[in-house]
Amino acid sequence: MTKQANHLIHEKSPYLLQHAYNPVNWYPWNDEAFTKAKEEDKPIFFKHRVLNLSLVSCHGA
């Protein structure tokens, strides 16, 4: 069975590209996604990737 690419196939982000062949018709965060959702009266699901951040606190002596 050949996998069908979704709308993420044209993205530049390696993170988004790794989901381009998921069995979900993902759209990037753009006007097309919002227009399609509005036309079909469907909700928008937001998948957020959090990078690991290190916070440094500096205290004066």
* Per-residue pLDDT at 51: 61
Q: Which range of residues forms the domain containing residue 3?
A: 1-61
**18-53: per-residue pLDDT in tens?**
999 999 889 998 999 999 999 999 998 877 766 655
* Per-residue pLDDT at 61: 47
Give yes or no for a contact between 36 and 48, defined as CB atoms under 8 angstroms apart: no
Number of independent structural domains in the chain: 1
Query: How far apart are the C-alpha atoms of 14 and 36, rounded to whole Å?
Result: 24
* Per-residue pLDDT at 60: 52
Whole-model pTM: value is: 0.65
More confident position, 6 or 56: 6
* Per-residue pLDDT at 21: 96
